[in-house]
Amino acid sequence: MAEEQETKSIDQGTIELIEKAAKDGVNTAFDRAEAMKPCPIGSVGSCCKHCGMGPCRVPLPKGKEETPEEKQKRRGVCGATAETIAARNFIRMIAGGAAAHSDHGRGVAELFLEVARGGAPGYGIKDEQKLLQVALDLGVEIGERTNNEIATDIGQIVLGEYGKQEGELITLRKAPLKRQELWRKLGVAPRGIDREIVEIMHRTHIGVDQDYKSLLKQGVRAALADGWGGSLMATELQDILFGTPAPILGQANLGVLEKDEVNIIIHGHEPLLSEMIVAAAQEPEMIELAKSKGAKGINLSGMCCTANEILMRHGVPIAGNFLQQELAIVTGAVEAMVVDVQCIMQSVQTVAECYHTKIITTSPKARIPGATHIEFDEHDALKSAREIVKTAIENFPNRKGNVHIPDNKTDQIAGFSHETINYLLGGMFRASYRPLNDNIINGRIRGVAGVVGCNNARTKHNEAHITMVKELIKNDVLVITTGCNAIACAEAGLLVPEAAKKFAGKGLAEVCETVGIPPVLHMGSCVDNSRILIAATAMVKDGGLGDDISDLPVAGAAPEWMSEKAISIGQYFVASGVYTVFGVTWPTTGSKEVTDYLFKDMEEMLGGMWAFEPDPIRAAHLMIAHIDKKRKALGIDKARERVLYDMDMRRELDAV
Ligand code: BF8
């Protein structure tokens, strides 16, 4: 039994709880993944269910070469080819992902405007400097105006970007000039965010766009509306409202739950309510109430991207990533799991019913049958937060005694926003990316990799994340991370400065030790992948590494991806000029033409391209090969050899 569970995760506490779930008769994603194999036709993008004549299946014939005549006939009832079907499915994934991120951004913008107008007590402008920066970026007049006046204009402009019918998104201007020109030339500079997503739904309706290249181009446009639009604006406005993250110490893994305290897990994505829960849980009356119920206090922790948000700004510990959500409840020690939107398994409710945990839904957009619904009201957010915390406290006496909290938690340093990296590298008065660029040019740092994304129950929990990240840093590639990869890295002890000495190559370790940073920098939640775009742009602007993101020795990866959001993120990375490798499975392999277009032709068009490699070591080496190719093109490949030689020689000389 134990051995069987060890194939499911690399994390000891996770394995213990998978075992406990089995003992308690609780069904989890790990069991369901085993019981139900993925559909071999749908998983490669060869199933079309966009109309009532289908679903139509157009899989590649197995074991024999197809004749052109046979291929001609391999179509849906409406005549759609395997290419059209694969491309339609792919860009509908982008639409789903871009919609999720961008609707999150819209929620933030709505709250932002309410705050500026004085209609959301309890919230305020926390980062004035960023407010002014965003005002400058958006062309909002500053002069003698109050923060609220400036913020009102910003909120209105941002909300307007969603429904914009003409022109292009203002925030595209944050990209390198050459990249902006390329997008315009290719006709992929997005107009309004909503418009691009709606256009995907229109084009993929039966009988509309039948050219896979044209479909994929619209996918690029909508993905750009996500990365450089909806996600970017979510990050910017969250920073103004809740503070721009700076390095902060926290802890991670299921061991952060406390046996004698009221455990509240905040799970989901939008930090609007969770910020208030953090405040409510610290109120003396709440702590007193918890004590009156026999608990020693209130212990808040986070799950998935909400966890990253409240870790980065408050140091609230992280209980786990995507595949650990059910297991946190299996501990038997969670009084309430508060959820909002995205990546919440419906089964958290059924698992909760086996223990005493209350699942509290809070968003009108995401209800779960059987859960307690306490709707978040931004006009009186603290009241909603207090009600939630109180509900959790009152549930403490209902614990059933069948409690097991694994003894594993690790320290982590998070909070590496673009602003922080700028400051850490350059110092307060000369903030810049110069030292990073210099260390890339002199070869101590080989390149930078953004490793992000989910867990996937079809692959061993956290294994590909950690194997890939360790391989990259061992080869002197600085890793920046977000989402569930960041949580995996925290759990594996990679987010502390000491990890540099232990796991990083000589050059990278030297830089990390000098600056005092970990070799893997936690930049936040999945919408915060926009921070990676801004960091890449800053590297371009600082000079010496080409004049576009596609010139940089950088690469991206999502080794355990599963969500549509990951596809949207990957596509905007590719469209921004980044070589991007995904693991686990690839959703267009049902069409060679579509796959070739994404994997090869896109590089010619955009300078970035997709790749698929489920083996994390091989994937890491694909990324390293791409980084080396870029170093060579920049003429800095020799510098690397020279620096390493000098270091060794110096030591040898010292020893003599
Ligand atoms: O948005 S990494 S499993 S939690 S989708 Fe979801 Fe994937 Fe985790 Fe955050 Ni991102």
What tens digit of pLDDT does each residue of 160-208 get?
999 999 999 999 999 999 999 999 999 999 999 999 999 999 999 999 9
Residue 543 sits at φ, ψ, to 5 deg, of: 90, 160
Of the candidates 273, 308, 341, 307, the one whose C-alpha atom is nearest the C-alpha of residue 123 is 273
d(CA 592, CA 598): 10
Tell me the CA–centroid distance for residue 184 and ligand 1, in Å.
30
Tell me the CA–centroid distance for residue 152 and ligand 1, in Å.
31
Other C-beta atoms lying within 10 Å of the C-beta of residue 302: 29
In this predicted model, what pLDDT tens digit does every residue of 555-603 receive, in sequence order? 999 999 999 999 999 999 999 999 999 999 999 999 999 999 999 999 9
Tell me the CA–centroid distance for residue 362 and ligand 1, in Å.
19
d(CA 31, CA 206): 36
Q: In what order do the strands lie in the sheet with 554-558?
A: 520-524, 477-482, 447-451, 554-558, 579-582, 610-612
Tell me the CA–centroid distance for residue 359 and ligand 1, in Å.
19
Tell me the CA–centroid distance for residue 321 and ligand 1, in Å.
8
Q: Is 104 in the pocket of ligand 1 (CB under 6 A)?
A: no
Q: Is 559 in the pocket of ligand 1 (CB under 6 A)?
A: no
Q: Is 305 in the pocket of ligand 1 (CB under 6 A)?
A: yes
Using the atom order of ligand 1, give the atom closest to the CA of residue 453: 2
Other C-beta atoms lying within 10 Å of the C-beta of residue 147: 16
CATH number for the region 254-398 comes to 3.40.50.2030
Mutation choice for ligand 1 from 342, 456, 458, 528, CB with most ligand atoms inside 8 A: 342
Using the atom order of ligand 1, give the atom closest to the CA of residue 100: 1
d(CA 38, CA 153): 48
Residue nearest to atom 7 of ligand 1 (CA): 454
- Mean pLDDT, 10 residues at a time, over the chain (656 residues)? 78 96 97 96 96 95 87 94 98 98 96 95 94 96 96 97 94 97 97 97 97 98 97 96 94 97 96 92 96 97 95 94 98 97 97 97 96 92 95 96 95 92 71 87 95 97 98 97 97 97 96 93 96 95 94 98 98 98 96 96 95 98 97 87 55 52
Using the atom order of ligand 1, give the atom closest to the CA of residue 562: 7
Q: Is 304 in the pocket of ligand 1 (CB under 6 A)?
A: yes
Of the candidates 487, 457, 466, 446, the one whose C-alpha atom is nearest the C-alpha of residue 559 is 466
Other C-beta atoms lying within 10 Å of the C-beta of residue 539: 24
Residue 352 sits at φ, ψ, to 5 deg, of: -60, -35
Tell me the CA–centroid distance for residue 486 and ligand 1, in Å.
10
Tell me the CA–centroid distance for residue 269 and ligand 1, in Å.
8
Q: Is 526 in the pocket of ligand 1 (CB under 6 A)?
A: yes
Residue 358 sits at φ, ψ, to 5 deg, of: -100, 130
Q: Is 234 in the pocket of ligand 1 (CB under 6 A)?
A: no
CATH number for the region 410-634 comes to 3.40.50.2030
Of the candidates 392, 358, 269, 260, the one whose C-alpha atom is nearest the C-alpha of residue 322 is 269
Residue nearest to atom 6 of ligand 1 (CA): 343
Q: Is 485 in the pocket of ligand 1 (CB under 6 A)?
A: no
Q: Which CATH number fits domain 82-242: 2.60.120.10, 1.20.1270.30, 1.10.10.10, 3.40.50.880?
A: 1.20.1270.30
Tell me the CA–centroid distance for residue 342 and ligand 1, in Å.
8
Using the atom order of ligand 1, give the atom closest to the CA of residue 308: 9
Q: Is 565 in the pocket of ligand 1 (CB under 6 A)?
A: yes
Using the atom order of ligand 1, give the atom closest to the CA of residue 101: 1
For residue 470, the cross-strand partners are: none
Tell me the CA–centroid distance for residue 518 and ligand 1, in Å.
22
pLDDT at residue number 649? 56
Residue nearest to atom 3 of ligand 1 (CA): 454
pLDDT at residue number 64? 81
Tell me the CA–centroid distance for residue 302 and ligand 1, in Å.
13
Tell me the CA–centroid distance for residue 145 and ligand 1, in Å.
39
d(CA 276, CA 263): 16
Residue nearest to atom 4 of ligand 1 (CA): 304
Q: Is 488 in the pocket of ligand 1 (CB under 6 A)?
A: no
Three-state DSSP class for residue 363: strand
Using the atom order of ligand 1, give the atom closest to the CA of residue 569: 10
Looking up tokens 């509908």, which residue turns up?
A: 92
d(CA 507, CA 487): 25
Tell me the CA–centroid distance for residue 322 and ligand 1, in Å.
7
Angle between helices 564-575 and 529-542 (to 10 degrees): 10
pLDDT at residue number 426? 66
Q: Is 563 in the pocket of ligand 1 (CB under 6 A)?
A: yes
pLDDT at residue number 269? 95
Residue nearest to atom 1 of ligand 1 (CA): 526
Per-residue DSSP letter, 226 = I
Tell me the CA–centroid distance for residue 38 and ligand 1, in Å.
20
pLDDT at residue number 656? 42
Q: Is 18 in the pocket of ligand 1 (CB under 6 A)?
A: no
d(CA 377, CA 381): 5
Residues of the chain with CATH 1.20.1270.30: 82-242
For residue 372, the cross-strand partners are: 360
Three-state DSSP class for residue 644: helix
d(CA 323, CA 302): 13
Residues of the chain with CATH 3.40.50.2030: 254-398, 410-634
In the numeric block, which tokens belong to residue 359?
A: 């699942």
